[in-house]
Amino acid sequence: MPIQLTMCRLCTRSRPEFLCAVAELVASYPSEIDVVELECMAACDDVPAIMVETDYYPQVVPQDLIRLVRECLQLSTS
């Protein structure tokens, strides 16, 4: 079952480096990540904010996003 990565559409689209990291993850793990874009996460002070499954992460830089998703994927396969 793929892990769910949830993010705000408006906030992430304003950060191309963040979207590149998401695209890299989806390309690397095509059937293991389900990306959900919401209209708003009500997290404007924490942009870019994401949720991996049910865990909330504020002010995530691309390197942290990649690390978080990889860690979550490793946990789900163990």
- pLDDT surpasses 90 at 75: no
CA distances from 47 to 7, 19, 30, 67, 77 (A): 10, 13, 25, 18, 29
Report CA dihedral (27, 57, 7, 52) to the nearest 10 degrees. Answer: 50
Global pTM? 0.85
Non-local CB neighbours of 69 within 8 Å, separated by 6+ positions = 3, 5, 25, 29, 33, 52
- Report whether pLDDT(58) > 90: yes
Confidence class of residue 57 from pLDDT cuts 50, 70 and 90? very high
The CATH architecture that domain 3-77 belongs to is: 3-Layer(aba) Sandwich (3.40)
Q: What is the pLDDT of residue 62?
A: 93
Q: Mean per-residue pLDDT for 32-58?
A: 89
Domain boundaries defined on the chain: 3-77
Start-to-end CA distance of the chain, whole Å, equals 13
